[in-house]
């Protein structure tokens, strides 16, 4: 039987696949990519419910899937992509998946297939937004969370400015983008502030150092 930790990346990858399909399939897709996004988000919801059942007794798991940078020397460090699933994050996966599924379904009626232009671009952005939110929830380290948070900001900009031919949406998208970048700057400062003394941005542990944190800070 496949473990829950092995399927955790699929929660993020399903809506990401719908983003790729809507982006490149475009006019060949039924409902311009809406059905693919609904199916992918429903799959993420099903897996999220399974995750919630898997950790319902207070258990948790952390899995590292890829190490993309490592350091050597007396203070080794590494940057990874992984998942940390506990009862709180599993519940958030369910909430995000439910809301995203409702948005996909309601978009069938709100985004008129006859009166709207570039609908595949809208559903592609919606799929990437869903994947980014789910990736932010399962992230097991601050840097990974920062990356997905930046993707969320990018998707917000793209979706707010979807009707870019009209005068209002581009201005609203630009204002939202600039305001969130101000907060992202301090997010990145926090990531660096955690990584520098501990040698790792992960949520569950610190790197090995010859001196305790207090000694390092006081010199």
**Segment 97-115, tens digit of pLDDT:** 999 999 999 988 877 655 6
pTM confidence score:
0.83
**Residue 172 confidence class, pLDDT cut points 50, 70, 90:** confident
The stretch 7-32 carries a mean pLDDT of 84
**Residue 74 confidence class, pLDDT cut points 50, 70, 90:** low
Angle between helices 4-25 and 34-54 (to 10 degrees): 170
Tally Cβ neighbours within 10 Å of residue 1. Answer: 4
Q: What is the 8-class DSSP label of residue 182?
A: H
pLDDT for 17 = 93
Q: Answer for the pair 148, 135: CB distance below 8 angstroms, yes or no.
A: yes
Tally Cβ neighbours within 10 Å of residue 191. Answer: 17
**Residue 116 confidence class, pLDDT cut points 50, 70, 90:** low
**Cβ-Cβ contacts under 8 Å for 49 (sequence gap 6 or more):** 94
Q: Is 209 helix (H, G, I), strand (E, B) or coil?
A: coil
pLDDT tens per residue across span 197-219: 777 788 875 433 333 333 333 33
For 50, 71, 148, 171, the CA distances from 79, given in Å and listed in that order, are 28, 9, 15, 37
Q: Is 67 helix (H, G, I), strand (E, B) or coil?
A: strand
Flag whether pLDDT at 163 surpasses 90.
no
Flag whether pLDDT at 187 surpasses 50.
yes
The stretch 13-26 carries a mean pLDDT of 88
Q: Which residue has the higher pLDDT, 122 or 45?
A: 45
């Amino acid at each position: 039987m496949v473990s829950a930790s092995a399927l955790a990346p699929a929660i993020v990858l399903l809506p990401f696949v719908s983003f790729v399909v809507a982006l490149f399939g475009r006019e060949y897709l039924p409902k311009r990519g809406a059905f693919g996004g609904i199916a992918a988000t429903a799959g993420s919801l099903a897996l999220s419910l399974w995750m919630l059942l898997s950790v319902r007794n207070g258990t948790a798991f952390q899995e590292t899937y890829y190490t993309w940078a490592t350091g050597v020397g007396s203070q080794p460090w590494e940057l990874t992509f992984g998942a940390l699933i506990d009862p709180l994050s599993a519940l958030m996966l369910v909430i995000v998946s439910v809301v995203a599924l409702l948005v996909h379904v309601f978009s069938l009626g709100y985004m008129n297939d006859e009166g709207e232009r570039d609908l595949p671009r809208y559903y592609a952005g919606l799929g990437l937004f869903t994947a980014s939110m789910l990736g932010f929830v399962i992230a097991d380290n601050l840097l990974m969370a920062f990356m997905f948070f930046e993707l969320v900001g990018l998707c917000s900009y793209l979706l707010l400015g979807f009707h870019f031919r009209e005068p209002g949406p581009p201005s609203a998208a630009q204002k939202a983008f600039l305001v969130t970048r101000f907060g992202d700057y301090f997010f990145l400062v926090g990531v660096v502030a955690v990584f520098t003394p501990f040698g790792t941005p992960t949520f569950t542990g610190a790197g090995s150092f010859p001196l305790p944190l207090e000694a390092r800070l006081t010199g």
